[in-house]
Structure 1
Amino acid sequence: FTGKGWRSHARNGTSDTSEDREILVNIGGVKQVLYVDVLNRYPQTRLAELANCSVDNANDLLELCDDYDVRKGEFYFDRDPDSFKCITELYYYGEVHMKKGICPMCFKKEMDFWGVDVHFLDECCKGSLNEVEEELAQIAEKVHEILYNVEGTTPASVSKRCRLFLWKLMEKPESSLLARAMAILSFLFILLSSVVMCMSTIPELRVHDAGGNEVENPTLESIETACIIWFTIEYVLRLASAPNKVRFAFSFMNMVDFLAIMPFYAVLALTHLGTAVTELASVQQAVQALRVMRTARIFKLARHSSGLQTLTYALKSSLKELGLLLMYMGMGIFLFSALGYAVEQSHPDTLFTSIPQSFWWAIITMTTVGYGDVYPRTTLGRCNAAVSFLCGVIAIALPIHPIINNFVIFYSKQRVLETAAKHEIELMALRSKEDGLWGGTAQESQSDTYIPLLRDRSEGTPIQKLNHN
């Protein structure tokens, strides 16, 4: 073994050229011989630096490897041998493939140790790494949220403290017992309002005024008014305490909350306008339309249900499948309604008077509803109907499995992320406690689930508390 960290062999009675130089490495107990000229194809990597490092310089050598045996000429590394086999593919094939069963984040650490850039990772393996990094980012976000609810730094001013208290009270049920009670109370008001809205349509509960006109039941109207007052106070408090009021106002669920209370005040204004100015039919129609909009308050339940939120996210992730379903159904409706109109024209009592009118028959047939208000009377028409509902069943059934699968995957992922986030909070609390007992020495020992995304980018230290000023 020479002074440059490589061995030279004599072949065919002559000394080898520089292309035959090789180094012997021991990776976790697995020995492997590597050629220097192959390693020099990527001179920025650790192995290439090791191959060109002088064994006489012990300090530089030990910075590149864990140990070195002078007698055997062997470099020792306490690393994963399976990952190292994947790393060496770079020098022979110009790209790295991650072996199945290896943790993507652990493999990324191995690549960082050996000085191999992530862009050398093949495209088929980058997807797994990106997916894990996204999960870590989501866990980090949940940890930030938990820290915000539990350990958030108290603002200095009284107004900011009050705003933070209101925000946690109205938006973070897990932050305190009082906030959980407020969430339950809001949930009960939503249910009560929905029940009252349904009961107001029962004929036996309707009342009439002195003029014989039908009016709202006074008792139900009083309950409805109390619910609306609660919804209004709740919305105003949440808006006033929101850190970003523009983002709050234009978020989907908050727009639903606004639509749930807006019809009540619009009905009051239009009713007063119709009584005080003129009894316009358009005003009455607008009042009825706004009363129907009260049904939007049922969507407020999604704000208190993680299951409904998961379903919404799953449907959003299945937009492609839903789009294919609508496209198939649209093509089938147009095709079979046109065929139905064409073959039914020979019958004197045909119910297919036009292709647009036949759309309704095609919709209820392909969705297997079949009201029976429109039906074919000819033999060809019945055959067309049979083919149409068979195609409808197939078109509806095909995207169902991917949509259900997306829901199961997303729901399971959310449960895992929540558990991992809580586990990380416990580990952070344990590390903080050990730091206090051992004077900060415990910080060097990190768990396998330690999230590097939780490190402050400017200071490089783990985030323990968040400042919400």
Structure 2
Amino acid sequence: SEEMEIVVNVGGVRQVFYGDNLNQYPETRLAELVNCLSGGYDSIFSLCDDYDPGKREFYFDRDPDAFKCIIDVYYFGEIHMKKGICPICFKNEMEFWKVDLKFLDDCCKAHLSEKKEELEEIARRVQLILDDLGVDASESRWKRCQKCIWKFLEKPESSYPARVIAVLSFLFILISSVVMCVGTIPDLQVVDAEGNRMEHPTLDSIETACIGWFTMEYVLRLISSPNKLHFALSFMNIVDVLAILPFYVSLTLTHLGAKLMELSNVQQAVQALRIMRIARIFKLARHSSGLQTLTYALKRSFKELGLLLMYLAVGIFVFSALGYTMEQSHPETLFKSIPQSFWWAIITMTTVGYGDIYPKTTLGKLNAAISFLCGVIAIALPIHPIINNFVRYYNKQRVLETAAKHELELMELNSAEGKATGSRNELEDFSREGKDGPFYSSRIKVSHSDTFIHLLSEEKHYRTRLQSCK
């Protein structure tokens, strides 16, 4: 069998193989073909789609492009995935040909892992939408009420009133931020009985109304949250607490703190807490996908940001030390020490140049010119990858949102085809999340879309070359 020659026809592409090559990996499908002829036609057709005994040719209705990549394992011991092939489909092809994923090159594994994450994200979004559509009659009235409040406050796209509430919340954030800024204008402040300036009572009333709205919103979201511990520890919810907590702490100190400590200390503490009101501007990230995308892009760009800070740190140290040394010969030097020169190096390398500290010698000016040229280069180098991360994530979110809607439309279409009524209520009957992930009852048929989410079904499917993939 080692010298046996077999002909394999995959999607119209004929390949000739020899037994000694195929038997290097005896557990693969092609290696099994070498020894299947002695087992009769039942054994042959369990491995292939068709067989021509005259030509001794095996036929497979599979993707020939993927097959050309997979057979490299018999010659090179590793597999590289060609550009343009869907990683998930390629993985299915490898499983069909019984080739282990360990032979896939590391760069291709990273691409496959990224595609899996995308499909999991699409499945999660579909699951969330189906959860909103579904109504479990076995749930208590309080549970159903909790779910309605949560959807009303957390998902503006679920209904028109929910969108109105989201807009109102956005306006309250803007109003409170404007009031905080306007309240610091001296002409709009009033003087109390002790001669201290304080915010105008009207602005104070608007501030109180905004804090009342934020408090009510946070309490309702906390009560209706399905996982209260996760809710309390979420970053955006911590920001919400920081936005409303200073108001109540300063109110308590104003009315009760005077009895426990000196009035001047109370006023200083209240003033410090009022500064914390700037945290409410971060609440805008809840309503802005652009801010969320920026946050994620910066999070994914820690390496580039670290390089930027390292470049600047090295340059600041070198040029501040050189500047201090070169300026010592001048009698009116502004460089008193190297640590003081750090400030000059920072504003010079970032091309800000306040002019409060500047060199007066010729060598010092030359050092300054070199420092800001190096600063421009150091800042410009890591900016491009950071921008790429932002654009890539923003486009990816738009694609995932479109793919989730597309998957839902196909599920609804298949459900309508499976039932004579074709009612949209078919989407409401779905089973709960199982041990291996979310899956749905037979009333919702799994779609065979281009994304093809395996997580929506326990059943295993394979694509053929006749099925397209984007």
TM-score by length of structure 2 reads 0.89
Moved more, 251-260 or 68-77: 68-77
Residue 418 of structure 2 is aligned to residue 435 of structure 1:
yes
Residue 332 of structure 2 is aligned to residue 349 of structure 1:
yes
- Structure 2 equivalent of residue 124 of structure 1: 107
User: Is the 1:24–1:33 Cα contact (8 Å) retained in structure 2?
Assistant: yes
- Structure 1 equivalent of residue 79 of structure 2: 96
Report the Cα distance in structure 2 between the residues aligned to 1:230 and 1:143, rounded to whole angstroms: 32
- Structure 2 equivalent of residue 141 of structure 1: 124
Deviations 1:106-126, CA, capped at 9 Å, x for gaps = 211111111112112122321
Residue 431 of structure 2 is aligned to residue 448 of structure 1:
no
Moved more, 34-43 or 258-267: 34-43
- Structure 1 equivalent of residue 15 of structure 2: 32
Moved more, 224-233 or 323-332: 323-332
Aligned partner of residue 15 in structure 2, secondary structure: strand
Give the Å deviation of 1:142: 1.6
TM-score by length of structure 1 reads 0.89
Residue 165 of structure 2 is aligned to residue 182 of structure 1:
yes
Give the Å deviation of 1:329: 0.9
Deviations 1:83-125, CA, capped at 9 Å, x for gaps = 2222221222222222222221221111111111211212232
- Structure 2 equivalent of residue 236 of structure 1: 219
* Cα 1:107/1:152, change in 2 over 3 Å: farther
- Structure 1 equivalent of residue 427 of structure 2: none
Q: Match for 1:234: what amino acid?
A: E
Give the Å deviation of 1:212: 2.6
Report the Cα distance in structure 2 between the residues aligned to 1:179 and 1:307, rounded to whole angstroms: 20
Report the Cα distance in structure 2 between the residues aligned to 1:124 and 1:403, rounded to whole angstroms: 21
Aligned partner of residue 79 in structure 1, secondary structure: coil
- Structure 2 equivalent of residue 403 of structure 1: 386
Residue 201 of structure 2 is aligned to residue 218 of structure 1:
yes
- Structure 1 equivalent of residue 133 of structure 2: 150
- Structure 2 equivalent of residue 14 of structure 1: none
Q: How many residues align?
A: 442
Report the Cα distance in structure 2 between the residues aligned to 1:312 and 1:210, rounded to whole angstroms: 46
Residue 405 of structure 2 is aligned to residue 416 of structure 1:
no
Report the Cα distance in structure 2 between the residues aligned to 1:442 and 1:291, rounded to whole angstroms: 54
- Structure 2 equivalent of residue 466 of structure 1: none
Q: Match for 1:64: what amino acid?
A: L
- Structure 2 equivalent of residue 3 of structure 1: none
Moved more, 93-102 or 255-264: 93-102
- Structure 2 equivalent of residue 202 of structure 1: 185
- Structure 1 equivalent of residue 33 of structure 2: 50
Q: Match for 1:451: what amino acid?
A: I
Give the Å deviation of 1:444: 8.2
Counterpart selection for 2:153 from 170, 174, 186: 170
Q: Match for 1:19: what amino acid?
A: E
Q: Match for 1:447: what amino acid?
A: S
Q: Match for 1:408: what amino acid?
A: V
Give the Å deviation of 1:59: 2.5
User: Is the 2:410–2:447 Cα contact (8 Å) retained in structure 1?
Assistant: no
Give the Å deviation of 1:349: 1.2
* Cα 1:43/1:442, change in 2 over 3 Å: farther
Q: Match for 2:452: what amino acid?
A: Y
Give the Å deviation of 1:71: 2.4
Q: Match for 2:454: what amino acid?
A: P
Aligned partner of residue 46 in structure 2, secondary structure: helix
Aligned partner of residue 192 in structure 1, secondary structure: helix
* Cα 1:328/1:436, change in 2 over 3 Å: same
Moved more, 216-225 or 441-450: 441-450
Deviations 1:20-63, CA, capped at 9 Å, x for gaps = 21112211112222112322221211112222113663223212
* Cα 1:44/1:299, change in 2 over 3 Å: same
Aligned partner of residue 54 in structure 1, secondary structure: helix
Q: Match for 1:293: what amino acid?
A: M
Q: Match for 1:180: what amino acid?
A: R
Report the Cα distance in structure 2 between the residues aligned to 1:460 and 1:231, rounded to whole angstroms: 48
- Structure 1 equivalent of residue 69 of structure 2: 86
**What percentage of residue pairs aligned between the two structures are identical?**
68
Report the Cα distance in structure 1 between the residues aligned to 2:3 and 2:194, rounded to whole angstroms: 109
User: Is the 1:149–1:172 Cα contact (8 Å) retained in structure 2?
Assistant: no
Deviations 1:437-459, CA, capped at 9 Å, x for gaps = 49979958723332112225xx8
* Cα 1:384/1:273, change in 2 over 3 Å: farther
Counterpart selection for 1:318 from 298, 301, 315: 301
Report the Cα distance in structure 1 between the residues aligned to 2:419 and 2:157, rounded to whole angstroms: 28
Residue 230 of structure 2 is aligned to residue 247 of structure 1:
yes
Q: Match for 1:402: what amino acid?
A: P
